[in-house]
Structure 1
Amino acid sequence: MEIPAIDQQTWEAARAHQAQLTKPTGALGRLEELACWFAARQGKAVPDLLRPAIVVFAADHGVAREGVSAYPREVTAQMVRNFAAGGAAINVLARRCDAKLSIVDVGVDADLSDVDMLEHAKVRAHGSGNIAREPAMNDAQYWEAVGIGEEMAARAIAAGANLLIAGDMGIGNTTPSAAVICALTGAAPEQVVGRGTGVDDATYGRKLAVVEQALARADGTLSRDVLRELGGLEIAAMAGFYRAAARHGVPVLLDGFISAAAALAALAWDVRVSGWMLASHVSAEAGHRLALRELGLAPLLDFGMRLGEGTGAALAVPLLNAALALHREMATFASAGVSDRA
């Protein structure tokens, strides 16, 4: 399936509409550009308000056994149960922005068969491989995880969503994300590896060494296969989710550091995916700003967040809907009987 081109004619029509609203041109700053951005992607000079769908992909990581996280692996499964019960931060924010929330197990190292509010799509029972010593996935597992992301995007769009958000849950997943970002940007690990869940100096040193080891092991891997070698099951699903959204002509709102790694991996398959992406925020993780620059995206928010789950993106949805509401509902100079500038 081809990725559709951005509708530049509608973009210009939206800009013309903005110029007629009862305000000085540019007075609403980036809110005006955001409204036009969505207009060009919806093919409507006055775009619809957003109907977001959030999908959180969860999986464990073999590299967590290298001692790179402040939390034990068991927390992944515990947090999935918390998501299903409605008690996590993303549950709160999804309710606040009226988003449908889905949770997908693509490789959590636990039996979650008793959890009803969960998409059971486990690709590999114990999570991804330890990237310091082996590929994260074999080829079949890689494309199966990508396909799960694509399917979840298609289902959300069929249900009426016109904005897609992918969240993540996986203890240790900032380590493979850092490795993916380094491999795809050429950045040094010292520029990208961060503190994740708040690790101490000793753990940070191990994390940095593990990323260096993983990069050395996977040296020479083609960009389209970097995610298979260095990523994780949930990151692969997120990349598939992003590519499918672009193929269906539906924008995605990126979340944090893990989201940026998945986005870069999706661009390694097809650079046109980037035209359908917005960055919600820049996180406190060291390499996130670097990854966003590589993606050519400017974040909407900078709140020092580093939670993941899709929380930064969910937080930005009301801001985006405010931009669209202003574009839709403000009077024009003609309709209000207000004189335009001389």
Structure 2
Amino acid sequence: MNDDITSASTAHPAPARRGLGAIARSQMRNIAPFLTLIVLIVFFSVVSPSFATLGNVGNILTQVSVTGIIAAGLTFVILCAEIDLSVASIANATGIAVAYFTLQDSYVNIANVPVPGWVAILLALVACSALGVVNAAGLVVIGIPSFIMTLAMMQIAAGISALLVRGQIAYKIPALISTLGSGSVGGIPCIVLVAAFVLLLSHLVLTYTRFGRYVYLVGSNREAAENAGVNVKLILGAVMVISAVCSGIAGMLGVAHFGSAQQNEFDTYLLDSIAAVVVGGTSLFGGRGGIGNTIVGLFVLGVLNNGLDHVNIDSFLKILIRGLILLLALIINVYAQRLRETSAD
């Protein structure tokens, strides 16, 4: 009897160890980005004394704010196992639109009738929402794959930008946008506060609302979502509009932060926003991840870009390193999905 008890007690820890290993493998998508962030912070803090300063932390937060707003909306789309390649172009078009409608200070000119500057903001928001609706209609009504639909929208939005500015640079924007994009409150840049608010609101929606649960369900198993009575087309259309609106907000604030509106101003933000979501650990296959992952991904990219500036590395090499980081994140993403499928079997 005692031998049986002894053998049972010694055999018990083995499943626990296997359980810990399984947990580690299942959480690899979340653990790897966080460890990457820690390694980058430690490395740049050692090689550059100017990196680990409070002022530089503020610089990093400011640098990732526009990307963070775009990435918040893009997270909804990727959680549904879709993609939006038009986010940067919509941001650019919206930023140009709000500058285009602005006549001077806080007034816009429509048919030579001056109206308050908030109308310019409203028109710009309507414009980016309309572009999102077109994306949604192409995806859920016509049935065009999101990759192709948003690729076409990327060109459409770029064309709108070119048509509005015609090679010129616009400087005047409504006072509210100027304050939110380039002002500060208590020493904290307003654009950082707006980005934090958008990310927090997105997290609350995804975590605590029925809509958020439907987003995860649609991304995890679209057929199961339909069987459960979820209007899958409505959810897919909604996330495309959310993505466009977030891009529009980022575009308007970005124009204020940069100090001008011009063509191709947001081109680099497409890769940055997708990288923030994917590097953070949100699954390209849908249903796994969230805003927390996106925030980690934002900091990984922000610390990487800022840190490389502090060590005076070749600018071309910087692009290569960012590409390698993204490739590594994609490999982890795909590998984690395979582990998930294997464990499910």
Which is richer in strand? Answer: 1
TM range (shorter): under 0.3
TM-score normalised by length of structure 2: 0.25
TM-score normalised by length of structure 1: 0.25
Which is richer in helix? Answer: 2
